[in-house]
Amino acid sequence: MKFVKILFLFLSLSLTAQQGGMWIPSLLEGMNEQEMQSLGSKLTAQDIYDVNNSSLKDAIAHFGGGCTSEVISPKGLLLTNHHCGFGQIQSHSSLENDYLKDGFWAMSFEEELPNPGLYAEFIVRIEDVTDKVLDGVIDAMTETEKQSKIDGNSNAIQKATQKEEWQDTRIKAFYKGNQYFLFVTERYEDVRLVGAPPSSIGKFGSDTDNWVWPRHTGDFSIFRIYADKDNRPAKYSEDNVPFTPKHFLPVSLDGIEEGDFTMVFGFPGSTDEYLPAVAVEQITQKVNPSNIAIREAALKVMDEYMKSDDKIRIQYASKQARIANYWKKWIGENQGIEKSNAIANKRTLEKEFQQKLKEKELESSYGSLLTDFDKLYAEFEPVNVKRSNFLEVFLRNNELMGAMFRLYQMEQAAGRGEETFKRAQESVQGRMKSAFKDYNVNVDKGIFKAIMPMYTDKVDASIYDKTNFSSEEKTAQILEGNSKEVIKKINKDAAYKYAKPFIEEFYTKLEPEFQRINTEINAVQKKYMKALMEVVPDQRYFPDANSTLRVTYGKVKGYKPKDGMYYKPVTYLDGVMEKYVPGDYEFDVPQKLQDLYKAKDYGQYADANGKLPICFLGTNHTTGGNSGSPAIDANGNLIGLNFDRVWEGTMSDYNYDPEICRNIMVDLRYVLFIIDKYAGANRLIEEMHLVHPKK
Ligand code: ARG
Ligand code: GLU
């Protein structure tokens, strides 16, 4: 009996130990702390998050709002992914100085390149403000009334929050609006580019290897935060100085082996782990397939032009990578959902939920939630699919239509007065001007022809020959003047005339319908979340990702992608050479790296087996936004840089399965090796604090 009990305890511990989750850093004490320690961590909850002393969280910064980065030196050196710094690396590139192709290394502080618009944001502290946010919100209110009460309360809380004048506050909903947290933040706006490997290292394997294991990508780039003389956030200025962080991560030279504890600390963007089956079905069977088809058609056009023209290759590199990324992710997601039987499994759980409601006599409160979902999602489907396709066609894949969309918004702004119009006008002028640097009308017209028929049967590509918006000068002329003049001019343009009815339909029909039903769905989802926690309390519930700072942890571990196959969790430089295809745009290897490989000149960065490690896998539960997040060892040292997930596991945004979901990290020793041996940027290595925790 005793034996059975111990065995059971052991089993349940090892089961939960692999269940994933993205946890709030200020709430790790208790369950998470214990679980991390059972996985080998030596860290306390306070080592990770502390309001009064410096802690790991002080080294983690939201990078431009979409990625994560970490401070790795006392002089504000900031590490993130190559694909996160891609836009900046590209914008400093030209045919003469092709940093995308050749890499970039600032050999002194003076050579570090400013990036207008880029920021790094730290979390100063996190507070639970649920009671105050929900004060006075009652069931009898409509959803709109509830929201306006919540907004009012949130504003009042933010006003009353104690903070320094250079700090900001933000309130975010957790557990579908059942809980609210306040974040005090500090945003640094002078972030300069310090180093980037060539794309043949930083993007090695490109789209073929994206989302795929085994992986051999050195997906990193390096920036530096600058601050004013008092170490406070400041706009770019020559007088700014390198930022002194409250904490920076020491870098481990000892590497990892299978079974080692890992923790990933960053800003995951969004997940939806508590959706009903009917929602996952709609996403994977209706929304994803149509969006995949649109992107596939756009990519085909883009790829052909990029292969045949170097200028276009540079112009479209960033846009192509962005479009290809989720195109491939959705495909993997669909396959994973299908293979893991996620929809059927969710249905089974829903039956059990319904059964438990009966047992616990909670049917009167929660009994109709699942049928409410069914009704709402049925009504939602056509609107959701069409709106999603609209966004793909008009905003994400075709540039001319995207521009017309912004012009439409500018025209609407005129209705709110000349001042509002002026602001909109300036913003459109700025965006259009910078867009022309990377615009090729043939590419865009080809994409238009390929994707517009997937949205409507009213396709007219002749607008490309008639419009003035494919010329930078004419565009500038049209946008000059007061609202009356500008609006008159744009309404005469062929492209605008073509696009306007679609955009009008979006604003007057699609979007309001979408919002109306979505608000109702969210209300049911909020109740469902609460019900799940109440009715099935023995499950663990972590809040869905919402672009706030989270901790996820696990182990270095391989996986079985298919029957009869096992993937080891570590790759080596030998694998880069195995994949090498001379001259190939995805799998070329720089000569210098080949030479270092031949000479086995790995310095202090080789593994115990004499090989140079490149990437490794972990069971950390991550999502988009975790790119650039540090992988941290049991002692708080940096061992890796998160940049991807395995294809078979990209469904983890809806259905985390510990058997198959893995995150992919670059081994920090490869990063150091590239900086040191490949680029000779020793000054950066010297700034860092290299440690040997295992010795
Ligand atoms: N899949 C990774 C992420 O979601 C990397 C994307 C960048 N790489 C690329 N080939 N597009 O961001
Ligand atoms: N590459 C992703 C990002 O940019 C991370 C991979 C993922 O989605 O897990 O955040």
pLDDT digits (tens, 9 = 90+) for 219-275: 999 999 999 999 999 999 999 999 999 999 999 999 999 999 999 999 999 999 999
Closest atom of ligand 1 relative to the 326 alpha carbon: 4
pLDDT per residue over 350-389, tens digit each? 999 999 999 999 999 999 999 999 999 999 999 999 999 9
Angle at alpha carbon of residue 301, lines to 300 and 303, rounded to 5°: 65
Say whether 83 is catalytic: yes
Q: Alpha helix locations (H) across 74-142?
A: 82-91, 99-102, 130-133
- Nearest Cα to Cα of residue 670 among 587, 611, 619: 611
Quote the tokens at residue 374.
Answer: 């069914």
Give the rounded distance of the alpha carbon of 415 from its chain centre.
35
Range 671-693 average pLDDT: 98
If you measure from the C-alpha of residue 96 to the centroid of ligand 1, how many angstroms do you get, rounded to a whole number?
26
> β-strands 241-242, 104-105: how paired?
unpaired
Range 102-121 average pLDDT: 98
- Minimal-distance CA residue to ligand 2 atom 4: 627
Say whether 676 is catalytic: no
Rounded to a whole number of angstroms, the distance between the first and last alpha carbons of the chain is 43
- Minimal-distance CA residue to ligand 1 atom 5: 644
CB of 32 closer than 6 angstroms to any ligand 1 atom: no
pLDDT per residue over 20-56, tens digit each? 899 999 999 999 999 999 999 999 999 999 999 999 9
Residue 12 has pLDDT above 80, yes or no: no
Quote the tokens at residue 164.
Answer: 């320094």
d(CA 248, CA 120): 14
Band of pLDDT at residue 398, cut at 50, 70 and 90? very high
Contacts of 327 (CB under 8 A, 6+ apart): 292, 295, 296, 299
d(CA 327, CA 288): 9
How many CA atoms are closer than 13 Å to the CA of 463, on its beta-carbon side?
A: 23
Are 545 and 271 within 8 A, CB to CB?
yes
- Nearest Cα to Cα of residue 477 among 465, 489, 488: 489
Confidence (pLDDT) at 95: 86
pLDDT per residue over 485-500, tens digit each? 999 999 999 999 999 9
CB of 626 closer than 6 angstroms to any ligand 2 atom: yes
Identified catalytic residue from 627, 644, 653, 657: 627
User: What does the CA dihedral 331, 335, 341, 342 come to, rounded to 10 degrees?
Assistant: -30
If you measure from the C-alpha of residue 219 to the centroid of ligand 1, how many angstroms do you get, rounded to a whole number?
9
If you measure from the C-alpha of residue 100 to the centroid of ligand 2, how many angstroms do you get, rounded to a whole number?
20
d(CA 353, CA 348): 9
* Phi and psi at residue 78, to the nearest 5°: -125, 125
CB of 653 closer than 6 angstroms to any ligand 2 atom: no
> β-strands 251-252, 690-691: how paired?
parallel
How big is the chain, counted in residues? 695
Identified catalytic residue from 58, 73, 82, 83: 83
Determine how many CB atoms are found less than 10 A away from the CB of residue 423.
12
Confidence (pLDDT) at 18: 56
Determine how many CB atoms are found less than 10 A away from the CB of residue 11.
10
CB of 627 closer than 6 angstroms to any ligand 1 atom: yes
Quote the tokens at residue 108.
Answer: 């002194």
pLDDT per residue over 438-481, tens digit each? 999 999 999 999 999 999 999 999 999 999 999 999 999 999 99
Are 602 and 226 within 8 A, CB to CB?
no
What global pTM score does this model have?
A: 0.92
Probe target for ligand 1 pocket from 217, 316, 642, 643, with the most ligand atoms within 8 Å of CB: 643
Say whether 219 is catalytic: yes
Domains belonging to the chain, first-starting first, are 1-119+189-266+549-695 (2.40.10.120), 277-535 (no CATH)
- Beta strands in 313-376, from DSSP E residues, in sequence order: none
